[in-house]
Structure 1
Amino acid sequence: MNDKQNKTFYQLIAIATFTKLADLLISAKTTLPWLLTSLGAPIWIISLLVPIRESGSLLPQWPIKQKTQNVHNRILLWRLGIVIQAAAIGGILFAAIFTQNLIAGILILSALLVVSLGRSLTSLSMKDIQGLNIKKGQRGKLVGIASSISGLLSLLTAVLMIMAPDEQSSTIIVFLISLAITIMLISLLLSRNLTAKFADDDDTLNGQDGLWKTLYHQTDLRKLIISRCLLLHGALIAPFFVSTAATNNDNFQLPYFIIASALASFLSSYFWGKLADKNAVKTIFFATLICILASVSFYIFTETDEWWLNIALFFILSLGYAGIRTGRKTYMLDIAQGHTRTNYVASANTVVGYVLLTLGGFYALLQTWISDYVILIMTGALLVGLFHSLTMRAEK
């Protein structure tokens, strides 16, 4: 890479680091389940956190792609998405300070939905930004480095939380949410002078096909979508680790879960990125295997009084899911380019968003009937996803 490419590479690492750190600080798998539990929100609301967080950022991407395909400078869309997210996190902060019980749950879910809408803009546009500025063979490395650095920063934040007294847990959560807003705004400043423009002649698949026609004709895309729908259970199962600890223990253990998530990201993301640059499909396979190990172990030991075991298994789950995300993102960047990539990202995310919303309602319903077996069902979906990954075409 020349000097300009190097500068852009590290600029994108800095931006990705800050946005990932903000995501970790208001995570639907750690911070928000603990916050809702402490505010007395109903358990079914916790079951909806990850589906709302993820589906809200995925469902709008196809219509957004259709409406914004003529916006050649994709950085403008990304900046708008960041502003929307920062404002919505402010709504979560308001709910955390001034409300409780069901009202708190509804307000936080509503604000989380708006956060997700902003994220749909940044997710769609950032794939274009990275694809236009970073060459194949370097993209997994970028994702991995950013995840590792954000994991380290989140780890330091959690250590500071542990040093604070237990009775200040509510104050700490408010601080985390406020910090997430600040970090989002910093990432906006870091985008100064960054450009990502499609060439005027880059009109491949530029909105010519509808959503379902695109899926029908693109075999690789269909297989990736099926894989994502099965493997997202690695994210859906995570809040149960945290809510179980919050229910069964009096101590403030949220910092330890954040440490587990951050440490997993810090230790593994660079490795997963390097592996994904060589073979993203193998990365997905091995990472899924790790998630299955964690899920089965959690199901077996879910009634244990050893609080550290929940955190250890959450660490293993986070380790595996970091690999799934890195492998999936690298695969998406590498199997297409230009507007074709935009079509792939938008169509895949929209379909997965519908599936997530459906699964969220399904598991919320199951939680009231057969709560003891929900984790086992999710683990079964991961197992199917493991074998399905073997059918995906190598991208390199």
Structure 2
Amino acid sequence: MFEKLYRYLNDEKKERVCTDISEKACEHVPRNYFLILISSVFIKLGDTLSNPKTVLTWLMSYVSAPVYLISLIVPIRESGSMVPQILLSTYVNRQAIRKWIWVVGALLQFIAIASIGFITLYFEGTTAGWLIIAAVVIFSISRSLSSLSSKDVTGKSIPKTRRGRLKGYTVSVSGVLVLATGLYILYTSKSDADIWFYSWLIFLAATTWLIAAIVYAKIKEFPGEVETEKEATKSIFSKFSLLKTDTQFRNFVIARSLLLCSALTAPYYVLLAQKYVGKESYLLGLFIIAKGIASIVSSPTWGKLADKSSKNVMAFAVFIASILGIIIFCVVSYAETFRDTNWLYPIAFFILGIAHEGVRMGRKTYVVDMATGNDRTNYVSVSNTLIGLILLVTGGLSALVSLISIEGVILVLSVFGILGAYKSYQLPNVEK
């Protein structure tokens, strides 16, 4: 069953493609393909149900957390999963089998997200805000374990020219589940959803990491390249020398840092909606539906395009996000009639969702295809750590600016996104 479905989804009619993986791994590609897909679908669903750009932003506003804490939730969530990776990479590089690192990370994320559900039930205001941020910090550090190990597990288990499609199908399938959840929230809004409803939504999100961990543990992974004890004792910061010696990698990191607008602008769309339309729960449902539909309609296409040229996908996707941000700034600043309409922000969020899926698909496929073995792990750890630090600085500045102008933050980030499109387009192709 796995074999036939795998061939159908990947349009594979002749001999199986096994580029960049071992002969033993090639035998288990179809089964591993679907185990990774299923576990990733649950993770994607959990990410959406506890998304800091939508659900957590909404939830923190609902419990009256201050705006500056809400502005910090996305950069802390993103950077917290990236900054520790340079420290953790030394340990990961010494493990021949790395799927268990992913499993442990998923279990810790389950605990962290579940704690947010309890916090929203029993705390409010600034106290709730700080406790949620503390839980997000724990979640993010745990996520760094999964993030660092997943790229190598995928690289050892799934051949080149199939990885982008795998990500595309993953996001598309999870998008269907997300859409169903959004419709349920929209239906529930008729009876005024209370804090219990939002808390159980978070509890449901937590269980997805538990299920994903069980599924991921069944992947057939073969031992890969490991660092010797002598190599592992070198300074972890010596890995940053890659930025000096590897021109392609350095340019990728620069381009990726300029792609952050698609991630960082998202919560400000939600805050604009709350400011000009209101905090009715049906709006949260519309945002989740918008994200779900965006994933369903765009991810398979982005995945196929990423297998052909992931750097072009990055460039085109971030350009869409940037132009959208500039348009929203103009509408909010100069068209008062339109800025108060309840359909504007969900539609904008839908377009942003399409763009962000392209950015993520492109950069993830690019870094996996750019290297193999421990080189891949080093690329991921160094780039993620550096991007995490940039996120902290950018997020802090955005939090300050948001106290003055929410739409101003969107404009500034969008301008950087246009520069990111140009830098991404200048990167060499790595798919051939």
Q: TM-score, normalised by structure 1?
A: 0.96
* Counterpart for residue 212 of structure 1: 240
Does residue 167 (structure 1) correspond to residue 202 (structure 2)? The answer is no
Among 75, 79, 104, the residue aligned to 1:55: 79
Q: Say if 1:37 and 1:246, in contact at 8 Å, map to a contact too.
A: no
Deviation at 1:370, TM superposition (A): 4.8
Cα 1:371–1:17, aligned 2, differ >3 Å: closer, same or farther? closer
Does residue 382 (structure 1) correspond to residue 417 (structure 2)? The answer is yes
Q: Say if 2:176 and 2:293, in contact at 8 Å, map to a contact too.
A: yes
- Residues of 1 paired with 2:64 and 2:383: CA distance? 36
Which residue type is aligned with residue 362 of structure 1? Answer: L
**More moved, 120-129 vs 369-378:** 369-378
Q: Say if 2:225 and 2:373, in contact at 8 Å, map to a contact too.
A: no
Which residue type is aligned with residue 47 of structure 2? Answer: D
Q: What secondary structure sits across from 1:168 in the alignment?
A: coil
* Counterpart for residue 305 of structure 2: 275
Q: What secondary structure sits across from 2:95 in the alignment?
A: coil
* Counterpart for residue 62 of structure 2: 38
Q: Say if 1:206 and 1:339, in contact at 8 Å, map to a contact too.
A: no
- Residues of 1 paired with 2:118 and 2:95: CA distance? 34
Deviation at 1:202, TM superposition (A): 7.8
Deviation at 1:206, TM superposition (A): 6.3
Structure of larger gyration radius? 2
Deviation at 1:172, TM superposition (A): 2.8
Does residue 260 (structure 1) correspond to residue 295 (structure 2)? The answer is no
**More moved, 263-272 vs 248-257:** 248-257
* Counterpart for residue 243 of structure 1: 271
* Counterpart for residue 191 of structure 1: 216
Which residue type is aligned with residue 250 of structure 2? Answer: R
- Residues of 2 paired with 1:328 and 1:339: CA distance? 18
Q: Which runs of 5+ in 1 are unaligned?
A: none
* Counterpart for residue 250 of structure 2: 222
Superposed CA offset, 1:210-242 (max 9, x none): 132122111121111111111111111100111
Superposed CA offset, 1:356-386 (max 9, x none): 0111111112223454522211111111111
Which residue type is aligned with residue 174 of structure 2? Answer: S
Cα 1:23–1:201, aligned 2, differ >3 Å: closer, same or farther? closer
Q: What secondary structure sits across from 1:333 in the alignment?
A: helix
Deviation at 1:250, TM superposition (A): 4.3
Among 314, 322, 331, the residue aligned to 1:284: 314
Among 102, 105, 109, the residue aligned to 1:78: 102
Which residue type is aligned with residue 299 of structure 1? Answer: F
Deviation at 1:177, TM superposition (A): 0.5
- Residues of 1 paired with 2:253 and 2:50: CA distance? 26
- Residues of 2 paired with 1:101 and 1:299: CA distance? 29
Q: What secondary structure sits across from 1:288 in the alignment?
A: helix
Deviation at 1:32, TM superposition (A): 0.5
Q: Which runs of at least 4 in structure 1 moved beyond 6 Å after TM superposition?
A: none
**More moved, 123-132 vs 303-312:** 303-312
Deviation at 1:63, TM superposition (A): 0.5
- Residues of 1 paired with 2:84 and 2:222: CA distance? 22
Which residue type is aligned with residue 215 of structure 1? Answer: L
**More moved, 286-295 vs 54-63:** 286-295
Q: Which runs of 5+ in 2 are unaligned?
A: 1-15, 17-25
- Residues of 1 paired with 2:164 and 2:320: CA distance? 20
* Counterpart for residue 21 of structure 2: none
Cα 1:201–1:354, aligned 2, differ >3 Å: closer, same or farther? closer
Does residue 306 (structure 1) correspond to residue 341 (structure 2)? The answer is yes
Q: What secondary structure sits across from 1:316 in the alignment?
A: helix
- Residues of 2 paired with 1:341 and 1:246: CA distance? 42
Q: TM-score, normalised by structure 2?
A: 0.88
Superposed CA offset, 1:4-58 (max 9, x none): 2111111111111111111111001100010011111111111111100100000
Deviation at 1:166, TM superposition (A): 4.5
Does residue 130 (structure 1) correspond to residue 154 (structure 2)? The answer is yes
- Residues of 2 paired with 1:201 and 1:86: CA distance? 29
* Counterpart for residue 327 of structure 1: 362
Q: Say if 1:60 and 1:117, in contact at 8 Å, map to a contact too.
A: yes
Q: What secondary structure sits across from 1:301 in the alignment?
A: helix
Deviation at 1:175, TM superposition (A): 2.1
Superposed CA offset, 1:71-123 (max 9, x none): 21101100110111011112211111111010010011110111111110000
Which residue type is aligned with residue 389 of structure 1? Answer: S
Identity level (%): 35
* Counterpart for residue 180 of structure 1: 205
Q: Say if 2:32 and 2:220, in contact at 8 Å, map to a contact too.
A: no
- Residues of 1 paired with 2:246 and 2:367: CA distance? 13
Which residue type is aligned with residue 226 of structure 1? Answer: I
* Counterpart for residue 11 of structure 2: none
* Cα RMSD, aligned residues only: 1.8
